């Protein structure tokens, strides 16, 4: 158990509304990641963070923003949700400064209608 | 070409069978290799790391061929509980953090 909690776990929202997903970790990991997983595409990196206020874009960052104001929290925001953002979102961490094993939260299922 | 490719599956095998999963990766700078297991509507979980010399964990054996950029996972004496999707994962170190690249996964159903 890597001590990762995601909220909400399930959400239905309307097109055009903002949505924020929260990832909370309890073990002071430096690196945190947001992925989305879709059939036929596997897991794709949206954004990642390498420290407080240090974030960078991943492979599919368009339409998403992130913030990390505290070590333990990494927020993913969909500024104006679209149906193409219906997906399952996984937060992840890597352990230590050079840890090369990635651990995932339980996922947040988002449906945009 | 995708960075990490896997057998498309699904694999349907009887209990007790031996099943092999194959994975190829395109980036020769890949440094670490893993197999993850993902149950339906659950998060991926680490099954095992893959080392150059090959490694075994009970009924599971992983092999890496860096020259061919090929990774394999062998499951012997498969159990009903092995039914899941198996993800091949490679890791490339960057200046900050790592870049994990995931294969699309191969679904395994072990049948009674």
Find tokens 């061929």 and name the residue.
Answer: B65
Query: What SS3 string covers chain A?
Result: CCCEEEECCEEEECCCCCEEEEEEECCCCCEEEEEEEECCCEEEEEEEEEECCEEEECCCCCCEEEEEEECCEEEEEECCCCHHHCEEEEEEEECCCCCCCEEECCCEEEEEC
- Please tell me the predicted confidence (pLDDT) of residue A98: 57
Residue B2 vs residue B12, higher pLDDT: B12
pLDDT at A97 over 60: no
The reply to whether A87 touches chain B by the CB within 8 Å rule is no
- The minimum CA-CA distance between A19 and chain B, rounded to whole Å, is 21
Tell me which residue in B46, B96, B103 faces A56 most closely, judged by beta carbons.
B96
Largest Cα–Cα separation, chain B: 48
Give the mean pLDDT of B13-37: 94
Residues of chain A found within 8 Å of residue B87, distances taken between Cβ atoms: 42-43
Q: Taking phi first (over 0 means left), then psi (-120 to 50 degrees means alpha), and beta for anything else, what does residue B9 get?
A: left
By the 10 Å C-beta count (0-12 exposed, 13-18 middle, 19+ buried), B43 is classed as buried
Chain A contact set for B91 (CB, 8 A): 100, 102
Picking from A48, A100, A106, the nearest residue to B91 by CB comes out as A100
Average pLDDT of span A7-25: 98
Tens digit of each residue's pLDDT (9 = 90 or more) over A27-71: 889 899 999 999 888 899 999 998 999 999 999 999 999 999 999
Least Cα distance to A94 among B61, B32, B6, B56 occurs for B32
The shortest CB-CB distance from A42 to any of B45, B93, B102 is to B102
What distance in Å separates the CA atoms of residue B54 and residue B52, rounded to the nearest whole number? 5
| Across A4-24, average pLDDT | 98
Percent of chain B with pLDDT strictly greater than 70:
96
Say whether A90 and B43 touch across the interface (CB within 8 A).
Answer: yes
Tokens at residue B7, please?
Answer: 């057998």
DSSP B66-82: TTTTEEEEEE-S--GGG
B45 to chain A: which residues are within 8 Å by CB? Answer: 104
- How far is CA B45 from each of CA A62, A77, B49, rounded to the nearest angstrom? 27, 25, 11
| Model pLDDT for residues B32-87, shown as the tens digit of each residue | 999 999 999 999 999 999 988 889 999 999 999 999 999 999 999 999 999 999 99
**What pLDDT, on a 0 to 100 scale, did the predictor assign at position B101?**
92
**A98 vs A86 pLDDT, higher one:** A86
C-alpha to C-alpha distance for A70 and A19, rounded to whole angstroms? 20
**Separation between Cα atoms, residue B103 and residue B87, nearest integer Å:** 6
Chains A and B form CB pairs within 8 A to the count of 49
Lookup: tokens for A71:
């070590």
- Looking at every residue in chain B, the average pLDDT score rounds to 93
What's the confidence (pLDDT) of residue A95? 76
Confidence of residue A100 (pLDDT cuts 50, 70, 90): confident
User: What confidence score (pLDDT) does residue B27 get?
Assistant: 87
């Amino acid at each position: 158990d890597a001590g990762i909690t995601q909220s909400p776990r399930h959400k239905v929202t309307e097109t055009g509304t903002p949505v924020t997903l929260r990832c909370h970790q309890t073990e002071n990991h430096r690196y945190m990641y947001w992925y989305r997983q879709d059939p036929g595409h596997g897991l794709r990196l949206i954004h990642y963070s390498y420290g407080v206020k240090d974030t960078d874009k991943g492979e599919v960052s368009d339409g998403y923003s992130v913030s990390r104001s505290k070590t333990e929290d990494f927020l993913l925001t969909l500024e104006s949700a679209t149906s193409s953002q219906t997906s399952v979102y996984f937060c992840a961490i890597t352990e230590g400064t050079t840890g090369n094993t990635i651990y995932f939260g339980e996922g947040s299922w988002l449906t945009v209608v | 070409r995708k960075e990490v490719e896997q057998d498309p599956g699904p694999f349907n095998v009887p209990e007790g069978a031996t099943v092999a999963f194959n994975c190829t990766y395109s980036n020769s700078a890949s440094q670490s290799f893993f197999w993850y297991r993902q149950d339906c509507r659950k998060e991926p979980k680490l099954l095992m790391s893959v080392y150059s010399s090959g490694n075994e964990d009970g009924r599971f054996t992983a092999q890496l061929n860096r020259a061919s950029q090929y990774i394999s996972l062998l499951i012997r004496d498969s159990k009903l509980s092995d039914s899941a999707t198996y993800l091949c994962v490679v890791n490339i170190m960057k200046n900050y953090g790592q870049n994990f690249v995931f294969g699309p996964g191969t679904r395994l159903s072990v049948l009674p």
